[in-house]
Structure 1
Amino acid sequence: MIVVFGSLNIDLVCRVQRLPAAGETVLAPDYGAVPGGKGANQALAARRAGADVVMVGAVGTDGFADLALEALVADGVDLTRVARVDGPTGAAFIAVDARGQNQIIVAAGANGRASAEGLEGLAIGPDDWLMLQWEVPETEILKAARWARAAGARVMLNRAPAGPVSHELIALVDAVVVNEHEVMALGESLVPEAGDPDSVAAALSERYGLMAVVTLGAAGALAWDRGIRHDAPSLEVDVVDTTAAGDTFCGALAAAFDRSRGVETALDFACAAGSLACTQFGAQPSVPHRALIEQKAAELSVRRNPDSRRIPT
């Protein structure tokens, strides 16, 4: 089982020919309102990748609350621990350019009142994962990590948006997942002697005894675990929108680990899922399902090892 403690948003998304510079206005023909939030995106990605998922977080009492939960309901994510609090549901304001690149502003709304108390009484153990991101209060993230560690469960932290992490929190983490910019922000406070994404990941893994995973966009991903470096390629796809690619990678990676897959097999699975998420517009509408991920991950596995023809289930 995977438990996700994190944000739930409504994404207001518009397509533009190019992203605006500071002080500049650009015009878009229309906009869409779709479910999002890093926590919800990762919960949906893990669920569509085949895992049983419980979502813990908060939505508001406004008209966006039900829409923010819509895809999670449809895909069977357990939402019994999602609180409804006074005020607006979290929102993200997203512009996507003709190359699929984006600019995002996130307004916390109800996510600012998400509480780790929602985890209390939930049965979790060594076979389970808690997934954390950084769109809910840091104090609650730390409480959630302590709760999981006390129960013997494993903790995956996606430090996004980028920023520092305390030594206390990182010591509770089994796997940290960041992109090549986020890993450097981690390195500044935790391993300042390391000077590039690869060396920062290696130093984090060695110093804190965790798996450090770095996503590299079109170049795939790398991971350092127990002194061993692992690499995985990405799929060659026509990029439409990169908004939820990182979240999809995280959810798929957790789902692969939840099925006890090895590091390289899990990386192939996650890279395939993240690549596929770039081929459709919108965050949650772009999250792929397990059958397609398996098919594309098998292609990546063959590229890595020509003698391999399937991924073990």
Structure 2
Amino acid sequence: MIVVFGSLNVDLVTPVERLPGAGETVIGPAYALHPGGKGANQALAARRAGAEVALVGAVGRDAFADIALSLLAADGVELSHVARAEAPTGAAFIAVDAEGANQIVVAAGANALARAEVLSAMTLGEGDILLLQREVPEAECLAAAERMKRAGGRVVLNLAPAGPPAEALLGCLDVLVVNEHEALVLAQSLGWPEREPDDIARRCDAERGIACIVTLGAEGAVGWHGGVRRRLAAPAVAVVDTVAAGDSFTGAFAAALSAGYGFSGALQRGLAAGTLACMVAGAQPSVPRREAIEALVGESFI
């Protein structure tokens, strides 16, 4: 089973011709309302990729809560560990330009009240994976990671949004997933001079014993595990937007690990899922299913 401890949001997505600069207003024609949040997105991605998934987090008691939970419930993610808090459901405000790039502002809301103590009531073991991000309190992420490590399971952290991870949290990790910007933040926080994503991932693996993957957008991904480098090019597709591409990658990667694939096979499935997510607008509506992921893996990597 995969346990995702993370955020649940509603996403308000607006298409714009170009992204605004500081102090600038850009007008979009309309907006769409979608369920989102990195925790929820990755839980849905892992579930659609074939894993059994339980989500731990918090929503409010407002109308947005039902929207935030809707696709998760429809796809069979276990939601009994999602608390109803006395705070508004988290929200993300997303602008997407004509090239598919985005700017995102997130209001934490109920996500700030997510608590790791919920994991104490769950039966966890060696075959389980805890999937973490950085949209809920880091102290709670650490408590959740420590609980999973005591149970003998594995811990995967997606260092998003970017920020310096606590040393204690790094000590609990089996796998770290970052994009190019997050890789630089990681290196700077550790006092490393490396600036190339490949070099940062290699050092993370060699010195910390943490398998590290850097997603490279249209250039694919590079990963280091046990001193071995894997580099995959991304399949060429028509990009609609990149919202939830990273979450689709991470959820599908974790699902493949849970299914027994090795690091390379999981990397292939993560990259296929992230690529497919770029072809559909929105966050959770763009998360692909296992059949599409396996078809693209067969076309591109085998």
Alpha-carbon distance between aligned partners in 2 of 1:70 and 1:117, rounded to the nearest angstrom = 25
Cα deviation, 1:49-87, whole Å, max 9, x if unaligned, reads 000000000000111000000000000000000000012
Aligned match of 1:243: 243
Alpha-carbon distance between aligned partners in 2 of 1:27 and 1:166, rounded to the nearest angstrom = 39
Report matched runs for 1:98-117 at 5 Å. 98-117=98-117
2:115 counterpart letter in structure 1: S
1:230 counterpart letter in structure 2: R
1:268 counterpart letter in structure 2: Q
- Count of residue correspondences: 302
Aligned match of 1:271: 271
2:242 counterpart letter in structure 1: T
1:288 counterpart letter in structure 2: P
Aligned match of 1:142: 142
Deviation of 1:22 (Å): 1.2
Aligned match of 2:57: 57
TM-score, normalization: structure 1?
A: 0.95
Deviation of 1:191 (Å): 5.1
TM-score, normalization: structure 2?
A: 0.98
Task: Give the SS at the match of 2:21.
Answer: coil
Do the aligned residues in 2 keep the contact of 1:183 with 1:214 (CA within 8 Å)? yes
Q: Kindly tell me: are residues 266 and 176 of structure 1, through their superposed partners in 2, closer, same or farther at Cα, counting changes over 3 Å?
A: same
Cα deviation, 1:107-138, whole Å, max 9, x if unaligned, reads 00000110001211211111110000000001
Do the aligned residues in 2 keep the contact of 1:231 with 1:264 (CA within 8 Å)? no
Where in structure 2 are there 5+ consecutive unaligned residues?
none
Deviation of 1:206 (Å): 1.1
Alpha-carbon distance between aligned partners in 2 of 1:36 and 1:103, rounded to the nearest angstrom = 15
Aligned match of 2:291: 291
Report matched runs for 1:1-313 at 5 Å. 1-190=1-190, 192-302=192-302
2:24 counterpart letter in structure 1: E
Alpha-carbon distance between aligned partners in 1 of 2:190 and 2:26, rounded to the nearest angstrom = 39
Question: CA-atom RMSD, angstroms?
Answer: 0.9
Cα deviation, 1:146-180, whole Å, max 9, x if unaligned, reads 11111111000001011111221101000000001
Same amino acid, percent of matched pairs: 56
Alpha-carbon distance between aligned partners in 2 of 1:270 and 1:122, rounded to the nearest angstrom = 27
Do the aligned residues in 2 keep the contact of 1:167 with 1:190 (CA within 8 Å)? no
Per mean C-alpha deviation after superposition, the further-off stretch among 255-264 and 34-43 is 255-264
Per mean C-alpha deviation after superposition, the further-off stretch among 190-199 and 260-269 is 190-199
Cα deviation, 1:240-295, whole Å, max 9, x if unaligned, reads 11010000000000001011112222111111100000011100000000001000
Alpha-carbon distance between aligned partners in 1 of 2:299 and 2:221, rounded to the nearest angstrom = 16
Alpha-carbon distance between aligned partners in 1 of 2:285 and 2:108, rounded to the nearest angstrom = 22
2:166 counterpart letter in structure 1: S
Q: Which runs of 4+ in 1 moved over 4 A?
A: none
Q: Kindly tell me: are residues 19 and 169 of structure 1, through their superposed partners in 2, closer, same or farther at Cα, counting changes over 3 Å?
A: same
Do the aligned residues in 2 keep the contact of 1:232 with 1:264 (CA within 8 Å)? no
Do the aligned residues in 2 keep the contact of 1:2 with 1:54 (CA within 8 Å)? yes
